[in-house]
Structure 1
Amino acid sequence: MHDSERLARAPVLGKTQNREKIMAKLPALVDAIAEVDGRDRATIDHVARVIREAGYIPTTKRGSGASEMTAREAANLLLALKGADAPKDGPLAIDRFRSLRQEETPHSGVNYEGFSQLPIAIKNVAEARTFGEALEALIDGAPELSQCLRQCVFEAYGEPRAPLIFKMVETGSFAGVEVTLKRYQAEVALWRNFAGQPETDFITTFLPDLERQEAGFYGAGTKDHRVAVGFGFPTLIHIAQTLSPDERR
């Protein structure tokens, strides 16, 4: 495969945060994802080994000298886990999903009235060229997004009920971000559901790069078998807090 197609192996010039604070190693990242993924740790670890051997996670010595994980490595592992049918297909899933390009009008049909200020992480998603950049922005920006969700809950429910409601937000209820993967497209949505009234404050879609699609980069045709896989705020904040322990609340 041409070097330009190895999107996950080159540094991404995105608006990310906290890179200098990241201290987690690969085992800690595997532990964090296993806690929210639903599959056992051995499965997550196997996928991590496959993509590490393919060059999507740095291969270094063990122990204190091992490479520190960043949002890029976390995004690669998520894409391999969520976007591939088998561990061996993880590297291909990373390349294909990372290359998806954002539609030109991510803001159409949405409103921001539920938030006093649109979270920086979501603004960075809106400015991302590719889904790879957008996913990294969500991971790096999850702590700030957490604060915005707290403020949103406080404004909706007031101080007495806010702590209880936010505990539910942390498990994916009431408000959050939803990331949905399909073959091959991706969607990012910022949503809330207070008092039984669901609202979408932001939504954007990432579609195949046309030149790559014409060259067969996404496979030979699309079968009529449609599977969507999603993950949300609980996964994003758990990973972010693992990468930067000082961001834990």
Structure 2
Amino acid sequence: MRNLVQLARNGSGRAAAIVAMAYASGDGFEKNFEKAEHYIILGARSRDPVAAYLMADWLRNGFVLDQDIAKADEMLDLSIKYGYAPAMYEKALQILKSSDSDKTDQAVALLESAAEQNNMRAMFLLARMKETGTGAAKDVEGAVDLFQRLARARHPEAMAYLKDLAERSANAKQDSAILAKLELDKNIEVIEVTGEAFEVSLVLDGLVDTLVSSGKYDQNSIGSRIRGVSCNESFKCGSIKPGDDPAASTIWELISGRKRWR
């Protein structure tokens, strides 16, 4: 962590974001909100997408920083501008939950961009939207492709959806090409690739993952993962787990996982 502080002072926005999280959570340093604020501002000034994303979340929730929704939206848009997939996913959720049908295409485009970067949440939500035709054009083959990629990346629920799709497609006598793809996935092989070469940015991203998995964070946005900061159902607490109910019929049901497709 001390090395990260030096990197942050030397201009690494990513290091500054990690140090800010450490001070905010008390994981790695003694909890200190003043220093967390200092480093998150430092990271944002360095135009780091993770810092901008984290700052947006803190501003939205009034954690560490005073609540400022307008500024939060501005920082989230900056993170998207810098190409950060989690920010794209977050913005897409905001749009879809707003029920503003005029912006649905924008949400889908953001999910597509995040999915291209292999953001699993975006891939999973987009797959479900394509599967059901909820908020996006119905595209079972496109959904299958996404679920296949997720299964290979060890997504915990993708295989269950593929098997369910295979059963339903067979019963409905779906296109043979789709059935062939699904058949191949019944015994899908998960391939792990490792390499010796890596960059400092990848190491820092790994440290972000370590902080996230430390137990002080849940499965929602970074800021609301800190213990003592609650998320409310109207914005960040949607589950993406399948339920046992009949098919979803609204965007909210799709996002919250309140209903399962058929």
Q: TM-score, normalised by structure 2?
A: 0.23
| Largest Rg, 1 or 2 | 2
- For CA contacts below 8 A with separation 6 or more, give which structure has more relative contact order: 1
Q: TM-score, normalised by structure 1?
A: 0.24
Q: Which has the higher helix share?
A: 2
Q: Which has the higher strand share?
A: 1
